[in-house]
Amino acid sequence: MDLMRAARLHLPSHALTIEDVPRPVPGVGQVLVKVEAAGVCLSDVHLIDGTLTPTYPPGDCVTLGHEVAGTIAELGPEVTGWTAGQRVVLQAGEVRDGRLLTRGVDYDGGWAEYALASVGTLFALPDSIPIEQAAIIPDAVSTPWGAITTTAQVRPAQAVGVWGIGGLGAHGVQLLRAVGACPIIAVDPVPAARRRALDFGADLALDPADPRLREQVLAATGNQGLAAAFDFAGVAAVREQALTVLAPKGRLVLVGLTDKPLTVTDGTRFSYLRHQILGHYGSEENAVAQLVALTEGGRLDFSRSITDVLPLADAAKAVQRLHTKEGDPIRLILRP
Ligand SMILES: [Zn+2]
């Protein structure tokens, strides 16, 4: 039996270990992908620290990694239309038996030399898109894309706010720029993150601790407030602050995950202004294909998104760097 290296999370102990495991064999309708790049996401940090648990646990142990790109190594039975050696990016999850399962959470993901993928989760990758940049399209780019275009339904010229300028938020700013939102107001406590927000296309970047935050948002939006606010951080205080600067009928979209309760401090004001709070997770099935096309067409550019590339053996180090925000990373990539 052929073995491969994989970074596995042991669910009872939350230990992350690099192990040799059997190289999977593609079944009917599946391909085996040689992983060339796999992103490290804040939800990986949260799976390891235990604040996030798989909805449909695959057993005691799972290979992490839901942002995966590589080349097809082997085709399973009855697979047509794909060839070995083809460059691909993988959807971050799939529906099985009516349940939405997330790659690298509910089933084995791409922090490994090889990963299995159902053909329905494969997207062909044009040569013009570097493999590291492709790897982060599922999730780091597609999740804010889904939040902006599907859940919040942002229209051109609408005022928007983005809380948390990490991996999702930095891309959120770029995507809001691409869909014509204006103004784009970024909020982050870290000065480097605020600078990055401005570099990536925000019109204004504010510190959440600034007592004049509400005043400044109102001044920037003709006294209207925000048509849509995005919590990419998953922080209770963010949600309460965002609700104070929403325009009438404004939407607060919750993208960052947290197990903390959701509080509406002033229920009367919330109802009077007809505010909405919307949960968001993942993206529509066509999101990755749309984003690959927009990137190939020069409308989006993720060349600044890859902070560093590390070997798979350094998975724990990468997780720690994201957790401590050392070097303020947007995305770290593991290369098996
Ligand atoms: Zn993620």
pLDDT at residue 316, rounded to an integer: 96
Distance of CA 194 from the midpoint of ligand 1 (Å): 21
User: What letter would DSSP give residue 137?
Assistant: I
Distance of CA 116 from the midpoint of ligand 1 (Å): 18
Contact 128, 138 (CB under 8 A): no
Distance of CA 58 from the midpoint of ligand 1 (Å): 18
pLDDT at residue 285, rounded to an integer: 86
Distance of CA 23 from the midpoint of ligand 1 (Å): 24
Contact 20, 41 (CB under 8 A): no
pLDDT at residue 167, rounded to an integer: 86
Distance of CA 41 from the midpoint of ligand 1 (Å): 5
Distance of CA 295 from the midpoint of ligand 1 (Å): 20
Tokens 């053909």 locate to: 119
Distance of CA 142 from the midpoint of ligand 1 (Å): 10
pLDDT at residue 325, rounded to an integer: 85
Distance of CA 139 from the midpoint of ligand 1 (Å): 5
pLDDT at residue 236, rounded to an integer: 92
Nearest partner of 236 among 254, 210, 222, judged by Cα: 254
pLDDT at residue 244, rounded to an integer: 96
d(CA 219, CA 3): 60
Contact 165, 196 (CB under 8 A): yes
pLDDT at residue 7, rounded to an integer: 98
* 100-119 per-position pLDDT tens digit: 999 999 999 999 999 999 99
Distance of CA 248 from the midpoint of ligand 1 (Å): 31
Residues of the chain with pLDDT under 70: none
